[in-house]
Structure 1
Amino acid sequence: MSTSNSVGEGQQDLSAHLKEAMRRLASSVAIVTSRDTDGQPHGMAASAVIPVSMDPPSMLVAVNRDAGLHPVLQRSRRYCINLLADDQHPLLKLFSQTALREQRFRSDDWRDAWTTGDGPLPWLDGAPAAIECEVDQTLDYGTHTLFVGRVVRVRCAPTETATGTSAPQPLVWLAGQRARLAAAA
């Protein structure tokens, strides 16, 4: 395997090479939601979401400190990870562009049925899974804060629908665009 960078390259070049490498890593896409102290919903699209441990059940979300959701998570210390289905891809535009912030939760697909702490967190009906967490630890690293949340509730969509069809494909991102998974032969 050849590399296009060498030891001693500038940090900016190394960051650009890492960004290019990460475009080659397929990842699921989620919308992370929370509520501010006034009860207003906030959210962002994220692919930097990973399970940390099954004992205790926990999830990590990496959030850029410039993101609008960052101060909300710092204060509320609660979030819901909504894993997206492929057919929910139009939500990415709403949750990726600041100018569209007011339109994010206008859909009838958002629910507030779970309650913990100060009130319900928005979760997306029809998402393959929604995972509610309470922040247990944070770590600032570079431009981001890593929020490690203890899982308090999980909602999973059925693996088969009422009509007998299988659950929708997960939304996968690769090389800056939507990708599709192929069934194994």
Structure 2
Amino acid sequence: MASNAAGVHVITTDGAAGRYGITMTAVTPVTDEPPTVMLCINRESAIIPILLANRSLCINTLSDGQQDIAEHFAGLTDLSPEERFEYHIWLRGQNGQLEVEGALAHLHGSITAQQEIGTHYVFFVALDEIKNHSQTDPALLYFRRSFKSLA
């Protein structure tokens, strides 16, 4: 799978169970109508119980200038999960979920179904707010275990 280039996203959730975020590449569109995406997250990830309780999230699609954000939320720096939110500017979508300023897109939604498959949870997320931003900034990619620019 390391040879599959993929877009880089930071998934954020905030609610009664707390605030958390992780860097992900396993984000896939499922259908346009209704707008639905799929997330595949390792069962051992600390975000799992928080997502299962909060049910709402934001998918922040990162530009190539946001590699530091990807590194923070991937745990590649010494920042705690809470400190990761202090190093960037955050806004809120209509559903109250956190979106990082400058991302290429913000996809807000709620988990409608989940299933455990092998080592991972597969979440289906119905999108209720979609914001596309810059049409010229290149995307941040992850390929062969390192970040790359689509530029």
What TM-score does the superposition give when structure 2 sets the normalisation length? 0.92
1:147 aligns with: 123
Higher relative contact order (CA 8 A, sep 6+): 2
* 1:43 Cα deviation from its structure 2 partner: 0.4
C-alpha distance in structure 2 between counterparts of 1:87 and 1:44, whole Å: 18
* 1:108 Cα deviation from its structure 2 partner: 4.4
Which structure features the higher share of helix residues?
1
* 1:105 is the counterpart of 2:81: no
Among 78, 82, 94, the alignment partner of 1:115 is 94
Q: Give 3-state SS (helix, strand or coil) of 2:16's partner.
A: coil
Among 18, 22, 32, the alignment partner of 1:54 is 32
Q: Which runs of 5+ in 2 are unaligned?
A: none
Q: How many residues align?
A: 149
Aligned amino acid, residue 172 of structure 1: L
* 1:89 Cα deviation from its structure 2 partner: 0.2
Q: CA RMSD in A?
A: 1.6
The runs of at least 4 consecutive aligned structure 1 residues that moved more than 4 Å come to none
Q: Give 3-state SS (helix, strand or coil) of 1:104's partner.
A: helix
* 1:115 Cα deviation from its structure 2 partner: 3.1
1:33 aligns with: 12
* 1:173 is the counterpart of 2:149: no
* 1:68 is the counterpart of 2:8: no
Task: Select the structure of larger CA radius of gyration.
Answer: 1
Among 27, 51, 55, the alignment partner of 1:77 is 55
Q: Which runs of 5+ in 1 are unaligned?
A: 1-21, 160-166
* 1:87 is the counterpart of 2:87: no
